[in-house]
Amino acid sequence: MSIRDELTAVLVRHRGWLAVRIEQIAACIDASTARSQAADHRLAHALELVHQIKGTSGSVGFVEVSQAAEALESHLKSMAAEPDAGPADEAVARAWDLLAALQARADSARPDRSKLLSELGE
């Protein structure tokens, strides 16, 4: 198996990993609308997950996925900055919009669109 084939297999597995993590982030955002300590923990967990997506996607060359994750991470950090008040409806709606953008980028993250794979050459 060539390095190109091995990298392609890693990229395919990464897409599956992304799908699971995005689903988990959605559950966290949904739970974060309550004003409770548990909701604060769910938001913190969402931040961890989106940070992982940002880093790993950037590492494997899915730049657009990484950028979308960075935008969501930034927004979630601003939501977490006001834990006692709970997130405002507008902030939660924006989180859902950013998650949808991340999902769209993840859906289009095919191995042939990886910057890392394209830089590997033939």
Q: Check which CATH number belongs to the domain holding 70 and give it.
A: 1.20.120
Q: Would you call 31 exposed, middle or buried from its count of C-beta atoms within 10 A (0-12, 13-18, 19+)?
A: middle
Q: Show the domain range for 96.
A: 3-120
- CA separation for the pair 112, 82 (Å, rounded): 41
Q: Please, which residues have CB within 8 angstroms of residue 47's CB and are 6 or more apart in sequence?
A: 73, 76, 77, 80
Token pair, residue 110, equals 């095919």
Structural domain total, the chain: 1
Token pair, residue 18, equals 């992304």
- CA separation for the pair 120, 122 (Å, rounded): 7
Q: What integer pLDDT is reported at residue 55 of this predicted model?
A: 98
pLDDT along the chain (122 residues), means of 10: 92 96 95 73 94 97 97 94 70 95 97 90 65
Q: Which of 39, 20, 54 is nearest to 91 (CA)?
A: 39
Q: What integer pLDDT is reported at residue 84 of this predicted model?
A: 57
Q: What integer pLDDT is reported at residue 83 of this predicted model?
A: 58
Q: What predicted TM-score, i.e. pTM, was given to this entire model? A: 0.90
- CA separation for the pair 43, 25 (Å, rounded): 9
Q: What integer pLDDT is reported at residue 1 of this predicted model?
A: 84
Q: What integer pLDDT is reported at residue 39 of this predicted model?
A: 74
